[in-house]
Each structure stands twice: as structure tokens, then as C-alpha cells.
Amino acid sequence: MDKMYYETIDKLEKLGVDREYIQGWIGGYLENPKREEQRITEAYEAGYEDGTAKEINSAERFKN
């Protein structure tokens, strides 16, 4: 893993971002296939899209 991956996960956790968003971000960043349709949440979907783009633009919407 590269430094950006670990720094971003650390930042998201410190900001108190929803775990679903973080899991989606990880999956998108690593280019993993998406979860099964019935397990996808709005936070997961946003995280996946941001992870694919290597950004965290939607994270603020999913803070706990």
C-alpha cells in the first residue's frame, strides 16, 4: 500500500466518518468489485466512488 492510502484512512477515522463510507472508499481505492446490491448503502456508494477517484469529497456528508 502507498502512503496516501494509510493517511486517508487515518484522516477519515479521525474525522468520525461513517464506517460504510470508509469501507466503500477502501474498495474503490483498491479497485475491488462492489458489494452485492442488497448490501450497498448510500455511504458505501459515495465512498466507493470517491475511492475510485482517489479523493474524499463526499466524506463530510457522512460524518457521525
The per-residue pLDDT for range 1-42, each reduced to its tens digit, is: 689 999 999 999 999 999 999 999 999 999 999 999 999 999
The pLDDT value given to residue 17: 98
CA distance 13 to 62: 11
Domain range for residue 17? 3-62
Question: What total of structural domains would you count in the chain?
Answer: 1
The pLDDT value given to residue 23: 98
The pLDDT value given to residue 64: 85
Residue 42 burial (10 A CB sphere; 0-12, 13-18, 19+): middle
Contact 50, 56 (CB under 8 A): yes
The pLDDT value given to residue 5: 96
